[in-house]
Every structure is written in C-alpha cells, then in structure tokens.
Homo-oligomer: A and B are copies of this chain.
Amino acid sequence: MKVNTDVERCAERRVDASRVAAVAESLVDVDEAAALAEMFRLLGDPTRVRILYALLEAGELCVCDIAAVVDTSETKVSQAMRLLRSAAVVRNRRDGRNIIYRLDDAHVRLLLDLSREHVAHGEDGER
C-alpha cells in the first residue's frame, strides 16, 4: 500500500485521510485497471465501434460483408479484427475462403447495448 508521499500533495489535514485509505484499499488494482483500459481503448475508435455493432446485430459476418456494412476498406476491417481478436472481443472461424467473425463475449454485448442507450438518451443520467 504505497501512496505518493514524495511529491506535491495537499495538506494532510485537508484530505479525508481515512476515506482515502479505504478507497485506495478497495480500488481496482493497477493490472486490472490496465486490462480495463486496454479493453475500452479498443472500443474507442469509430470504425471498430461500427464493426462491433454490426456484429451485434448480424451475429456473424465475413470480413468482406463487414466492410460492406460499415462502408470501409477490407484492409481497415482486417486490421481492426486483428486487434479485437487478440483481445478476445471477437472470435473467428474459417468457412471456405471466408473468415467469419462474431462477438466472443457476453459482457461486451451487454456493454454495447448499454452504451447505445447512453448516447441515445443523451445526458439524462440522473442529473
């Protein structure tokens, strides 16, 4: 439980020290945070977002059809799929010369659904 003590920090009496310690204790650890950030980062690109929503709706699609649906180049799709694949967000299988992708995670599906509601409703969270 190492906390920054060497550098700039507001006066110790001013911060709610006990709460800070409590939150720091139960906070998601560095590795987990890195994994989460990495996952969000992959969703943080318009092309990849559209691809994922396309898969969410279609179930399965080959690269070629993804490119058509999302209206982009196959190269771009290919690169996107490599990233998403290595993060286990999607999985693929071969069917003849086509390689068919689908979402490989129920959580991601929920995440996409939930997120769409978020932007749909705009900023009416709870005010």
User: In the complex, how many residues of chain A place their beta carbon closer than 8 angstroms to a beta carbon of chain B?
Assistant: 72
Whole-angstrom distance from the CB of A44 to the nearest CB of chain B? 3
The answer, yes or no, to whether A83 is at the interface (CB within 8 Å) is: no
- Give me 20 other A-B pairs in contact (C-beta within 8 A), A36-B116, A41-B45 excluded: A4-B68, A4-B71, A7-B73, A10-B64, A15-B65, A15-B68, A23-B54, A23-B57, A26-B57, A27-B70, A28-B50, A28-B116, A30-B46, A36-B49, A37-B43, A37-B48, A42-B44, A104-B125, A105-B118, A107-B117
Q: Are A9 and B68 in contact (CB under 8 A)?
A: yes
Given A54-B27, A68-B24: A37 in contact with B44 (beta carbons within 8 A):
yes
Please, how many angstroms separate the alpha-carbon atoms of A14 and B126 in the complex?
48
A20 contact set on B, CB distance < 8 A: 65, 68-69
A69 contact set on B, CB distance < 8 A: 20, 23-24, 27
A 15-40 to B, binary, CB cutoff 8 A, 1 in contact else 0: 11001100110111010111111111
